[in-house]
């Protein structure tokens, strides 16, 4: 599934996600060293500005997430599970929230542009659940529910949520949350036995598979809307993906 994310970045079909052109021949001149997005705001092209900025944020966030996921898989293949869980935290605990807020909320870009202390990843629980519900409504894989995504990633009341597991991977000792307490005579992940690594592997790949399917299908929906892709494009992409799965099996 990482290859499916990579296609968003390198496939020519998605070139408009990273490259935009603006005809300014009949508009005021650009000031020296003026950023093109600032220019669009100055000349009253806010709608175009927001459209291009949304694409820019989605594209950049996808690249960042892909790097972290690939490095996590590499670390996992070397039995470096502490590193793997630490790396997998950013794409899903943080970058996913940025993608959801960028596409599904109306006030994100305003705050992003104007607030010095704006935290793009900070969201209260109810708002986060609402965004996850919106996102899962776009999925073709209906077996993945809003509760699955929230519980697998963000639910701090569940010991094996990604946010709790990655806290253990990052911190030698976790004491603030009873659901990820380090325990007596232990240092998180440091003293992992072969049996512990095996259990961590099972968890890592079973959960990551679900999260990657969710991530790819969500981005399929978002990018198809951002780029106004032909109605036949998405079904073709799904058909090609099914062929890949059949060949793997």
Statement: residue 163 has pLDDT above 60: yes
Instruction: Check if the beta carbon of residue 135 is closer than 8 Å to that of residue 100.
Output: yes
| 3-state DSSP percent of the chain in helix, strand and coil, to 5 | 70, 0, 30
| Contact predicate 161/183, CB 8 Å | no
Amino acid 185: pLDDT: 44
Of 202, 197, 175, 198, the closest CA to residue 82 belongs to 197
Structure-model confidence comparison of residues 98 and 12, the more confident one: 98
- Cα–Cα distance, 61 to 91 (Å, whole number): 8
- Which of the residue ranges 35-49, 69-83, 123-137, 230-244 would you say has the lowest mean pLDDT? 230-244
Q: For residues 1 and 195, what is the distance between their CA atoms, to the nearest angstrom?
A: 27
What does the alpha-carbon distance between residue 92 and residue 152 come to, in Å, rounded to a whole number?
10
Contact (CB, 8 A) for 66 and 2: yes
List the domain range (segments joined by +) for residue 37.
2-248
- Dist CA 216 CA 237 (whole Å): 11
- Is the predicted pLDDT of residue 184 greater than 60, yes or no? no
Confidence of residue 166 (pLDDT cuts 50, 70, 90): confident
| Confidence tier at 179 by pLDDT (50, 70, 90) | low
Judge whether 86 and 170 are in contact, CB under 8 Å: yes
d(CA 8, CA 63): 9
Q: What is the pLDDT of residues 68-88, one digit of tens each?
A: 999 999 999 998 888 998 999
Question: Domains in the chain: how many in total?
Answer: 1
* Residue tagged 């705050």 (tokens): 111
Nearest CA among 130, 151, 131 for reference residue 210? 151
Q: How many residues does the structure list for the chain?
A: 249
The single-letter DSSP state of residue 107 is S
Q: Which distant-in-sequence residues (6+ apart) come within 8 Å of 66 by Cβ?
A: 2, 5, 6, 9
**Tokens encoding 247:** 């060949």
Q: Tokens standing for 136?
A: 């899962």
Mean pLDDT of 59-66: 96
Q: What is the spatial distance between Cα 163 and Cα 179, in angstroms, rounded to a whole number?
A: 11
């Amino acid at each position: 599934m990482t290859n499916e994310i990579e296609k968003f970045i390198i496939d020519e079909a998605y070139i408009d996600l990273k490259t935009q052109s603006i005809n300014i021949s009949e508009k005021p001149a650009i000031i020296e060293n003026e950023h093109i997005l600032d220019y669009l705001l100055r000349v009253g092209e806010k709608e175009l500005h927001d459209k291009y900025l949304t694409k820019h944020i989605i594209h950049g966030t996808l690249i960042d997430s892909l790097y972290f996921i690939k490095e996590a898989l590499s670390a996992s293949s070397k039995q470096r599970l502490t590193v793997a869980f630490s790396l997998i935290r950013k794409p899903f605990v943080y970058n996913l929230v940025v993608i959801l807020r960028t596409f599904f909320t109306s006030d994100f870009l305003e705050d992003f542009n104007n607030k010095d202390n704006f935290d793009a990843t900070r969201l209260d629980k109810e708002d986060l659940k609402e965004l996850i519900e919106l996102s899962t409504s776009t999925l073709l894989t209906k077996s993945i529910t809003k509760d699955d995504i929230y519980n697998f990633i963000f639910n701090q009341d569940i010991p094996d949520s990604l946010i709790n597991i990655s806290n253990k991977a990052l911190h030698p000792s976790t004491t603030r949350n009873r659901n990820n307490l380090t325990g007596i005579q232990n240092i998180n992940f440091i003293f992992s036995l072969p049996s512990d690594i095996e259990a961590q592997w099972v968890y890592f790949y079973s959960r990551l598979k679900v999260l990657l399917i969710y991530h790819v299908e969500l981005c399929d929906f978002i990018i198809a809307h951002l780029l106004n892709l032909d109605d036949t494009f998405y079904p073709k992409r799904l058909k090609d993906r099914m062929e890949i799965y059949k060949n793997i099996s």
